[in-house]
């Protein structure tokens, strides 16, 4: 957690504006800072008395130079240092997420697959370190942060060249009992194998929530580390392969242990990529909350800290003309009067609300809410949209000309219609929330529309494509997505006009959702109205009759179909793909976009090659998406379907808020923003956004995707009719 700055703390270190304390110890303090471009950093400052010790600065300079050589996506990056300052400092990129220790303590052990993925990422970080001649010496759960874009190994404060002395040469064993190797316990020089042993302890802890050498006094734990075998518990023993790997990593003799690279190669799972999908839902929610909270950190005016006195605001600023202390201002801030942080007081910003409202504090956040399924059946969509909104807000906050600081507040309805209204009420009840992106799916829309409508709080859905919401309470409801009926038209256009099919097979699997059935009907209607040269042949597969699928497919081929459009579930559509592949069918095959996911790709295997999808979202490999989203920061955000659309929708909201400020209106009310969103055109990464009188986006583009080498690749937009 972030602690407020003390009166003796500086307000700025080099190019970093300090926002709070992340921690402190005998050597110094670690601050949370913000650079001029809006990036957050952890700034470690060494106390002046230690800097005066003989050879300290030389060792600190060496330490900073060594740490800067670590270039891995799974280790924090050194962004600056000054060993010559009165109080030497080192800055690293900041990860807005809980530590592994916090996550396991709060939510329990990780699933074994997550343990493997975590181990692979950390092994890769250690491999880079060891390649530079570095040994971390304190690999433990508290030094692994779980961010929105994967885990990070942190705390290079005691990492050093293996051939050099440590920063604090005291002759004592450095490290944490329970994660130290036997040779470290014995006081021998640290080698890369020590880090592998520590990583083995960390992974055992992540899988079980327990230390492999038990707990108790430090002496007892260290004794067991040297003399006893590790205990893994049934959670790890259920996976013989992982058990064997951990036993090897925890071998008493360092020569028997694998190297970090060998450990990486032995862990067969993928690395985490740039997201959180590998983690349990409660941990993902905790990461999202932590990240959203940090995005909400307010901008702070320039101040000067005077450690010798209690700073004051000018005379007359308090009752009876008395000067007001910082401590008093902090108390007032809880009532929304002013904000004091970073050793100073934020200026009061005069703002208009609806004609004659009182002035507002500069520190008040301008929040974009996210109403999403973050833990239910559509969580992959919800999480992608949350990441898209966070990326848009992060990009906005990094602008030097931004007129305000934006933040994100996510609320999870788990895709449950029964929780949707409560989620809406939570966001409506936050006066800082000016607009909401969501909900994720159709089922969550109807229960919440009245709540948002009564509050005039703009609600912009990215992925609820239902065309039946026209009869609902649309007072504040926008659909920025193409509507569901467009998929059928796009499929007919692609199969008949672009690829020449003349006898089109339509497989309507009732095990799928209603949008799939509607798509089949729309294909049939489009053929009759626009492509009379093509004849449809439709078959319906009952929900409970999956065993009939081969016979239904055989009938389609017997009718001479030369193109196929399928709806259903991922598993049954994959079964259809395998059957058609075995039968040698080579005509164009299009699947309902809702069924083509990782389950389909895995189950269909090579038979998925060449299948096409018409989807209302663009692809992560779209040049525009890569240019606008990935460049936002060095690692790039996790790009997934629906992330770009959410990025655009948040960008639309921020654009209208900026316009309100620039036209002299100050902070708009929700109702004013609602009106502004319905006017004009906004050019986003994916498409142009303008709305009709039903607040549905004009135009209805769908995007053609093709499966190649086991992955979807976006080939571009297919022309579509309007929603009218």
Phi, psi of 423 (to 5 degrees): -60, -40
Structure tokens at 515: 């949008």
| E-only strand ranges, 47-106 | 78-82, 89-93
C-alpha dist (Å) from residue 152 to 5, 118, 156, 180, 387:
25, 10, 12, 20, 18
Strand order in the sheet with 16-24: 12-13, 16-24, 28-34, 40-46, 89-93, 78-82
Phi, psi of 353 (to 5 degrees): -125, 105
Structure tokens at 496: 């008949």
Which residue, 80, 102, 76, 61, is CA-closest to 155? 76
Beta bridge partners of 44: 30, 90
Residues 6+ apart with CB under 8 A from 345: 301, 303, 313, 326, 329, 338, 339
Q: What is the CA radius of gyration of the chain?
A: 29
Q: Is the peptide bond before 439 cis (omega within 30 degrees of 0)?
A: yes
CA 374 to CA 292: how far, in whole Å?
14
Question: Environment class of residue 39 by beta-carbon count within 10 Å: exposed (0-12), middle (13-18) or buried (19+)?
Answer: middle
Which residue, 114, 96, 628, is CA-closest to 391? 628
| E-only strand ranges, 83-237 | 89-93, 134-135, 144-147, 150-153, 160-161
CA 534 to CA 537: how far, in whole Å?
10
| E-only strand ranges, 252-305 | none
8 Å CB contact between 313 and 325: no
Phi, psi of 534 (to 5 degrees): -110, 140
CA 441 to CA 234: how far, in whole Å?
38
Which residue, 456, 384, 466, 368, is CA-closest to 417? 466
Residues carrying an active site annotation: 138
DSSP designation for 493: I
CA 338 to CA 378: how far, in whole Å?
41
CA 71 to CA 149: how far, in whole Å?
16
Query: What is the Cα 186 distance to its own chain's centre?
Result: 42
8 Å CB contact between 675 and 587: no
CA 366 to CA 291: how far, in whole Å?
16
CA 9 to CA 26: how far, in whole Å?
16
């Amino acid at each position: 957690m972030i602690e407020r700055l003390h009166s003796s703390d500086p307000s700025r270190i080099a190019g970093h504006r300090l926002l709070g304390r992340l921690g402190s110890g005998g050597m110094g303090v670690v601050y949370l800072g913000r650079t001029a471009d809006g990036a957050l950093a952890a700034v470690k400052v060494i106390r002046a008395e230690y800097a005066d010790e003989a050879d300290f600065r030389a060792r600190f300079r060496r330490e900073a130079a060594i740490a800067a050589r670590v270039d891995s996506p799974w280790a924090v990056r050194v962004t600056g240092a000054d060993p010559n300052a009165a109080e030497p400092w080192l800055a690293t990129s900041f990860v807005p997420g809980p530590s592994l220790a916090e996550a396991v303590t709060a939510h329990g052990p990780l699933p074994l697959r997550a343990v493997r993925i975590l181990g692979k990422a950390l092994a890769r970080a250690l491999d880079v370190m060891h390649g530079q001649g570095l040994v971390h010496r304190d690999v433990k759960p508290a030094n692994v942060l779980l961010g929105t874009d994967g885990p990070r190994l942190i705390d290079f404060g005691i990492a050093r060249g293996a051939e050099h002395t440590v920063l604090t040469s005291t002759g004592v064993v450095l490290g944490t009992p329970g994660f130290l190797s036997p040779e470290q316990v014995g006081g021998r020089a640290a080698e890369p194998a020590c880090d592998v042993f520590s990583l083995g302890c960390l992974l055992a802890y992540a899988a079980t929530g327990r230390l492999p050498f038990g707990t108790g006094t430090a002496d007892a734990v260290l004794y067991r580390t040297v003399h006893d075998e590790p205990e893994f518990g049934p959670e790890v023993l259920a996976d013989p392969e992982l058990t064997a790997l951990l036993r090897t990593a925890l071998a008493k003799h360092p020569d028997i242990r694998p190297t970090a690279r060998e450990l990486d190669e032995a862990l067969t799972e993928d690395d985490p990529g740039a997201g959180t999908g590998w983690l349990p839902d409660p941990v993902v929610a905790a990461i999202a909350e932590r990240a959203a909270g940090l995005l909400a950190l307010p901008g702070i005016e320039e101040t000067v800290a005077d450690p010798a006195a209690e700073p004051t605001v000018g005379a007359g600023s308090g009752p009876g003309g008395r000067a007001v202390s910082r401590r008093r201002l902090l108390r007032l801030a809880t009532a929304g009067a002013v904000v004091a942080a970073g050793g100073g007081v934020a200026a009061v910003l005069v703002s208009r609300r609806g004609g004659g409202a009182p002035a507002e504090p500069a520190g008040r956040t301008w929040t974009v809410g996210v109403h999403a399924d973050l833990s239910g059946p559509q969580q992959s969509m919800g999480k992608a949209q949350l990441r898209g909104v966070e990326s848009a807000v992060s990009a906005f906050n990094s602008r030097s000309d931004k007129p305000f600081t934006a933040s994100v507040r996510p609320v999870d309805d788990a895709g449950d219609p029964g929780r949707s209204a409560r989620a809406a009420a939570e966001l409506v009840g936050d006066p800082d929330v000016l607009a909401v992106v969501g909900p994720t799916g159709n089922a969550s829309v109807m229960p919440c529309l009245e709540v948002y409508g009564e509050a005039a709080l703009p609600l912009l859905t990215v992925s609820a494509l239902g065309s039946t919401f026209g009869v609902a309470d649309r007072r504040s409801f926008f659909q920025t997505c193409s509507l569901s009926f467009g998929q059928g038209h796009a499929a007919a256009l692609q199969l008949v006009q672009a690829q020449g099919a003349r006898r089109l097979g339509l497989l309507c699997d009732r095990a799928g959702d209603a949008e799939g059935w509607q798509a089949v009907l729309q294909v049939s209607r489009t053929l009759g109205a626009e492509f009379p040269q093509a004849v449809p042949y439709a078959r319906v597969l009952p929900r409970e009759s999956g065993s009939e699928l081969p016979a239904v497919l055989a009938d389609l081929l017997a009718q001479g179909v030369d193109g196929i459009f399928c709806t259903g579930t991922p598993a049954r559509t994959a079964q259809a793909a395998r059957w058609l592949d075995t039968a040698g069918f080579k005509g164009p095959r299009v699947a309902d976009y809702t069924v083509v996911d990782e389950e389909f790709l895995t189950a269909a295997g090579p038979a998925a090659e060449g299948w096409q999808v018409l989807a209302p979202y663009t692809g992560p490999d779209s040049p525009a998406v890569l240019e606008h989203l990935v460049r936002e920061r060095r690692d790039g955000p996790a790009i997934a379907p629906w992330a770009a659309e959410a990025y655009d929708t948040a960008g639309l909201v921020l654009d209208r808020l900026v316009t309100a400020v620039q036209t002299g209106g100050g902070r708009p009310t929700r109702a004013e923003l609602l009106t502004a969103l319905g006017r004009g055109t906004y050019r986003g990464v994916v498409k142009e956004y303008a709305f009709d009188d039903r607040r549905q986006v004009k135009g209805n583009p769908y995007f053609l995707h093709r499966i190649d080498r086991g992955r979807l690749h976006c080939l571009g937009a297919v022309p579509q009719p309007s929603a009218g």
